Structure 1
Amino acid sequence: MNYFRLAAAGVAMALASPSLPASAAEAVNLILNWTPTADHSPFYYAKAQGWYEKAGIDLTIESGKGSGVSSLKVGSGGSAFGIADLGTMLVSKSKGADVVALMSIYANTGQTFYWLKSYGVNGPKDFPSHKIGNPPGDASRVMWPAFAKAAGIAADSVNFVNVGPTAKIAALKGHSVDIISDFYNEHDRKVIEFGDDLGYVNWKDIGLNPYGNSLIVNGAYLAKNPKLAHDFVTVSQKAFAACVADVDPCLKALLDNASGLDKENQQRQWERIKYLMTDEFTTTKALGWIDGERMKKDYELVQTYLGMEKPFEVDTAFSTKMLDTAIKMDATKVTVKK
């Protein structure tokens, strides 16, 4: 009799006690390629909406200092996930970094060089003997030999000057450099600043269109945590699709977490970003799709112009298995054309 009374009391206490979570969320770090801007807003939006938390992910978003830095940090296991230019990631992988790309963000390269015509530069053929300003870890500096060869100029014919990402326009305006590299999503800000004096060339214009910024993961982490990686990617896809549909709440989440950003500039950036996100694969296969044939071309580009310290099978550098094929890029939302 006492046994039944104790059991009943135990049940009553269990019902009266607050329920506890089955398991704590997994702490996950995402290192960005640079400081937060519009192209990172979907990650902040999904975090603010609690989508990562619901998937069991306690996400920390870390500012970056270039694709070279983010590739190496992810490749060494210092961060589970990261954002990096895919060409730069391939260079890092050839040097031993354990990295795998899971989702493209820029299906078209955002790499662009800008200059002022009044400085005597009218195109890549005029680059020799001029100063190019960008940070040391900038993807365009890492991949510069490829651009130089495609443009028909010597790789050592220019001088690079270290300029932080937020100081590029001021450096160009003050003539401490003659040319700057920047992402195409920042295009409108330069048009507003320099008007008709502005000259530019997107890498795609000279026949180089490698995949740009992409979501990457540490290979060992992926092997150990396939479900978490899948959930992280699909939540991120969902967030990018939501921001394509309506960017206002996404930019609010970004601005709530990053200081010093101008909302109108970020809105203009996002219109350019949607163009960079769009190609035949992201609109038909899945938002963020990485095509195997394009990856082979990117690998060959890096191999030809930069060389691979330790060659590897390109299929080991990316995976589309984590993508939700029901989520596709909506090309009807793209209003800006290059």
Structure 2
Amino acid sequence: MPIIENAGRRRALRTLTAGALAAGGGLLSVRAFAGGLATVNMQLGWVPGGNQVGEVVAKQLGYYEKEGIDFHIQPGGPNIDGVAIVASGRFQAGEISSSPSIMLAVSEGLPIKCIAVGLQQHPYTFFSLKKAPIRSPQDMIGKRIGIQSTGMVLLRALLAKHKIPENQVKIVPIGADMMPLVAGQVDAVTGWQTNTTALKPLGADRVDLRLWDTGVRLYALPYYATTSMLKEHPETVAGFLRATARGWMYANQNRDQAIDMLVKAYPNLNRADERLAIDSLMSYAFTQTTQTQGWGAMDASVWEEQIAMYGQLGQFRATLPKVDDVMTLDVLKATHSSRLKV
């Protein structure tokens, strides 16, 4: 899964988005709220899989319906700009892989805000092997780091934070698989620590260096909605988050049953692989923070760090967004008690 979704099409869609929004809340109010239930389509940035276990559980157990919501997951993929689709008013909510995609979209003028995060820390990790381990940023000096193009800014951020000149690291562009490391072509590759299936080839000799542990703090699986949706239909957004939280909490406490529901919804998934992956996934979704603040909690200071980091690295093509422009704590506050218990 890419760390940042492709924003190239987004700039081309800004005019279309603005036009759709100028047409009024009609798109949301008529299509989404006709009839007895409010329809909430959640647009993904990828093909649905294990990361949707909470939503799948919530739908199959009727949690959304109890909130008066007719919920649907809309698949994404490499040729789908989910953020632009939601911003245009076509769908009511979205989920993206990584928090920088939210602030980059806001910087480009798209009227969206993050309302919660699925994972408390980003599982993006540098993987190496014991024969040439990379356990700290300093260990990267003189090493060959295999990385996808979408992850380059994160490597640059890591090196800058630890005052390591970029020319002291050999950067090797690679795809998404682990084989360049297994074949000895690079000393490290990158990926999500929760993607246990992809990591199998590395075996017991795997050494992990998480991006979060190097001081580059990002969120994963952020949920977002348009500013008009938040203003005009706050109760529906709150109901969506309450039901989603219940689904995730149930999945955490009943993992076997949750995977059964997931595979029922998406028969192409391998049950054994998903059952292994959910343990890693839940370790990111439920932490000490969620014990007191509930599932989905986020910290404005983490967003501030991200904005400052991306600004220093020249990643914003347009304006430097403010924290209040990219995220809101209002929905989390409105649903606090219900996100602490099933």
TM-score range relative to shorter protein: 0.7 to 0.9
Q: Match for 2:76 among 64, 70, 74?
A: 64
Alignment CA distance shift 1:237-1:251 (3 Å): same
Distance (whole Å) between structure 1 residues aligned to residue 48 and residue 180 of structure 2:
21
Structure 1 residue aligned with 2:23: none
Structure 2 residue 126 is the aligned partner of structure 1 residue 113:
yes
Tell me the amino acid that sits aligned with residue 46 of structure 2.
Answer: W
Is the contact made by 1:94 and 1:311 (CA closer than 8 Å) also made in structure 2? yes
Alignment CA distance shift 1:306-1:263 (3 Å): farther
Structure 2 residue aligned with 1:302: 310
Q: 3-state SS of the aligned residue for 1:185?
A: coil
Alignment CA distance shift 1:129-1:31 (3 Å): farther
Tell me the amino acid that sits aligned with residue 161 of structure 2.
Answer: A
1:75-119 deviation per Cα after TM superposition (whole angstroms, max 9, x unaligned):
34443222221122112211222221111111112111224466x
Alignment CA distance shift 1:194-1:293 (3 Å): closer
Structure 2 residue 212 is the aligned partner of structure 1 residue 200:
no
Q: Match for 1:150 among 161, 165, 169?
A: 161
Q: For structure 1, list consecutive stretches of 5 or more residues without a partner in the other structure.
A: 1-21, 331-338
Alignment CA distance shift 1:60-1:98 (3 Å): same
1:39-93 deviation per Cα after TM superposition (whole angstroms, max 9, x unaligned):
3101111112232234333322123337x94334433444322222112211221
Cα offset for 1:239? 0.9
Matches within 5 A, 1:270-285: 270-285=278-293
Structure 2 residue aligned with 1:7: none
Distance (whole Å) between structure 1 residues aligned to residue 44 and residue 92 of structure 2:
12
Matches within 5 A, 1:315-330: 315-323=324-332, 324-328=335-339
User: RMSD across aligned C-alpha pairs, in angstroms?
Assistant: 3.1
Tell me the amino acid that sits aligned with residue 277 of structure 1.
Answer: A
Structure 2 residue aligned with 1:132: 146
Q: 3-state SS of the aligned residue for 2:42?
A: strand
Structure 2 residue aligned with 1:29: 41
Alignment CA distance shift 1:172-1:217 (3 Å): farther
Higher Cα radius of gyration: 1
Q: Match for 2:269 among 243, 261, 275?
A: 261
Tell me the amino acid that sits aligned with residue 237 of structure 1.
Answer: A
Is the contact made by 1:241 and 1:327 (CA closer than 8 Å) also made in structure 2? no
Q: For structure 2, list consecutive stretches of 5 or more residues without a partner in the other structure.
A: 1-33
Cα offset for 1:170? 5.1
Structure 1 residue aligned with 2:11: none
Distance (whole Å) between structure 2 residues aligned to residue 128 and residue 58 of structure 1:
54
Structure 1 residue aligned with 2:3: none
Cα offset for 1:322? 1.9
Alignment CA distance shift 1:53-1:305 (3 Å): same
Is the contact made by 2:82 and 2:94 (CA closer than 8 Å) also made in structure 1? yes
Identity %: 17
Structure 2 residue aligned with 1:160: 173
Q: 3-state SS of the aligned residue for 2:116?
A: strand
Cα offset for 1:258? 2.0
Matches within 5 A, 1:8-87: 23-65=35-77, 69-84=81-96, 85-87=98-100
Structure 2 residue aligned with 1:100: 113
Q: Match for 1:252 among 241, 260, 284?
A: 260
Structure 2 residue 98 is the aligned partner of structure 1 residue 89:
no
Q: TM-score, normalised by structure 2?
A: 0.75
1:200-238 deviation per Cα after TM superposition (whole angstroms, max 9, x unaligned):
311022112222221111222222322211111111111
Q: Match for 1:243 among 237, 251, 265?
A: 251
Distance (whole Å) between structure 1 residues aligned to residue 183 and residue 88 of structure 2:
39
Q: 3-state SS of the aligned residue for 2:115?
A: strand
Q: 3-state SS of the aligned residue for 1:34?
A: coil
Is the contact made by 1:143 and 1:306 (CA closer than 8 Å) also made in structure 2? no
Q: 3-state SS of the aligned residue for 2:51?
A: helix
Distance (whole Å) between structure 1 residues aligned to residue 257 and residue 314 of structure 2:
41
Distance (whole Å) between structure 2 residues aligned to residue 145 and residue 228 of structure 1:
40
Alignment CA distance shift 1:257-1:282 (3 Å): same
Is the contact made by 1:100 and 1:217 (CA closer than 8 Å) also made in structure 2? yes
Distance (whole Å) between structure 1 residues aligned to residue 302 and residue 237 of structure 2:
23
Distance (whole Å) between structure 1 residues aligned to residue 208 and residue 90 of structure 2:
36
Q: TM-score, normalised by structure 1?
A: 0.75
Tell me the amino acid that sits aligned with residue 120 of structure 2.
Answer: A
Structure 2 residue aligned with 1:6: none
Distance (whole Å) between structure 2 residues aligned to residue 306 and residue 276 of structure 1:
29
Distance (whole Å) between structure 2 residues aligned to residue 194 and residue 275 of structure 1:
21
Tell me the amino acid that sits aligned with residue 113 of structure 2.
Answer: V
